[in-house]
A and B are shown apart, each in its own frame.
Chain A
Amino acid sequence: MNDTGTIVFAVCGKGGVGKTTVSAALTRFLGADEEKTVLAIDADPAIGLATALGFTGSKTVDGIRLELIDGLERGQTGAKEDLAQQLDYDVFAAIEERENLSFLAIGRPEKEGCYCKVNSLLRDIIGSIAANYDYVVIDGEAGIEQVNRRVMERVSHLIVVSDLSAKGIGVAETIAAVSADAVHFEKAGLIINRVRDDHELSMVRLPAGLPVLGWLPESDNVRTTDMRGGNIYDINDVALFERLRACLQGLGI
């Protein structure tokens, strides 16, 4: 939990292990409490979380940044304060809202260098907006280092997702090691995704130094919904959400 009381989850893992589904399920689970507000941030350039949550993801922070940079290159000027206010306005306008849930797509990760002032302002703005929510769920890229760093600085709970593959577990170990240096989170853990039963899990070498929070079942319901282009709110899978609840208990949620 950060100084404003916001709990910020970052969900990371090797590509293809189902971290977007886990992020979406986590968002739905947290938002089920109508008294709580949830901001889902899609930091994966593919913007899969938008579809998984039933949003469009049509406006991205990257789009805002490029538009601004284009203006600067065409000679538009302005005081830093005006620039910050304009970015704040545009980022807030890019947020899609539905009941107690908000969604923001980052788009492509920022590139440091020529426009570090713009990047820095955007980090501050996203960080400032995120601080207004009870929960923030960030669906990251494979690693976490590309994710908007100001938000990552505020990550309190790191969830690493893997499937049963040795590659997935290996990437999870690496992410946990890199994150421990880069991010000062309070709690971290591993969720193993697409598991049939405890026996199957027992056959896998689990990583050292990263607590296993639990496992989520391979779900025909999820697969069918994905195939139909549905979203997490179309899924009626009690076992999935019960297991997710158990995983989150391991993080003290």
Chain B
Amino acid sequence: MELFEKELSRLAEFMKNMENGQMTRFTALIPSWPSGAGRNVVLADNTGVELGGPSAESTAFMLWTGEPGIVTNGRITLIGPDIRECAGKTVPYARIILAETTGLDEENCYDRYRQMAALRHVLDLKGYMIRASSRYMSEWVRVSRDAVKSGFTFQVLGSALIGRFAALDFVSGCEVIFVTSSAEHVLSLKPIADDAMMLINAMNKLAVEEDHDCAACDFSKACNEIELLKKIREAREHQGTDKGGRDHE
């Protein structure tokens, strides 16, 4: 089974259920929003729109696949109101990135995941602040009043994200989904986010930790089901055997 096969299928089902609601589709533009010149804080007093954070439901996750045809490159989908319509409010928020990748294997998947995960933090957009929590699988975004007035939209944000992903040589496609419609919709995505995070944690553990005791590990079920995790585990076991063999020489 592919790493996020189940999660992608559940997300597709969610999107199908949303089709009758307020759904807008955009195409990514060439990113042109001015830089924030390194200032990455938008104060509450200067906030035009707040998305997620400590006082609103939020979830954020990324799924990737090597299978062509699942990701529509350059597509930005917004479920719910856009930034301008949210002005003056704190709204529930979900942000999902789908990436089509090439050449991800048991040797490079951890490093490549880290490269992709870091991209949301390197966005330097004037009037845009992001704080992200891996523990809560959520994001906290503030868009300044000036940015709202100047036309900052989810198309601008999505385009900047897609532009960053497109610059990675192992990413062949990227699309972004934003949800601002309701706390209920955001909450319904959380189980997908949690399961995706569990798989990423399993991958991280296999990549980072020296010793594995599969019998006592919370991730062993996932490692037995998912092809990529199986391969990482086997590769690590081989490394351990080789190292053990050398130690005895």
Residues of chain A touching chain B, judged by Cβ–Cβ distance below 8 Å, are 4, 37, 77-79, 81-82, 85-86, 88-90, 92-93, 97-100, 102, 128-129, 131-133
Q: Per a CB cutoff under 8 Å, which of B40, B43, B118, B135 touches A100?
A: B43
B131 near A88: Cβ-Cβ < 8 Å: yes
Of A82, A92, A133, which one neighbours B134 at CB under 8 angstroms? A82
> Is B103 in the interface zone, CB < 8 Å from A?
no
Bound Cα distance A133, B43 (Å): 9
Within the complex, which residue of B54, B132, B209 is in contact with A85, where a contact is CB–CB below 8 Å? B132
CB contacts (< 8 Å) of B44 on chain A: these are: 97
Enumerate 30 A-B pairs (CB-CB under 8 Å) in ascending A order. Answer: A4-B38, A4-B39, A77-B204, A77-B205, A77-B208, A78-B134, A78-B204, A79-B114, A79-B204, A79-B208, A82-B134, A85-B121, A85-B132, A85-B133, A86-B133, A86-B134, A86-B135, A88-B131, A89-B133, A89-B140, A90-B133, A92-B131, A92-B140, A93-B54, A97-B43, A97-B44, A100-B43, A100-B45, A132-B41, A133-B41
Output the least CB separation between B133 and chain A (Å): 4
Interface residues on B, range: 20 to 34
Give the distance in Å from the alpha carbon of A93 to the alpha carbon of B138 in the complex: 13
Residues in A with CB closer than 8 Å to B43 are 37, 97, 100, 102
The reply to whether A85 and B134 form a contact with Cβ atoms under 8 Å apart is: yes
Q: Report the minimum CB–CB distance from B57 to chain A (whole Å).
A: 15
Contact (Cβ within 8 A) B132 A89: yes
Interface positions of B (Cβ within 8 A of A): 38-41, 43-45, 53-54, 114, 117-118, 121, 131-136, 140, 204-205, 208-209
Whether A81 contacts B114 by the Cβ 8 Å rule is yes
Q: With A86-B133, A89-B131, A99-B45 in contact, do A128 and B208 touch (Cβ < 8 Å)? A: no
Tell me if B117 and A81 are in contact (CB < 8 A). yes
Which residues of the other chain, B, contact A4 by a CB distance below 8 angstroms? 38-39
Give chain A residues whose Cβ lies under 8 Å from the Cβ of B209: 77
Residues of A within 8 A of B40 (CB): 128, 132
CA of A109 to CA of B121, assembled, Å: 29
Shortest distance between the CB of B182 and any CB in chain A (Å): 23
Within the complex, the shortest CB–CB distance from A151 to chain B, in Å, comes to 15
List chain A residues, Cβ under 8 A from B53: 93
Would you give the shortest CB distance from B201 to chain A, in whole angstroms?
Answer: 8
Alpha-carbon distance A243/B164, docked complex (angstroms): 52
A77 to B200, alpha carbons, bound, how many Å? 12
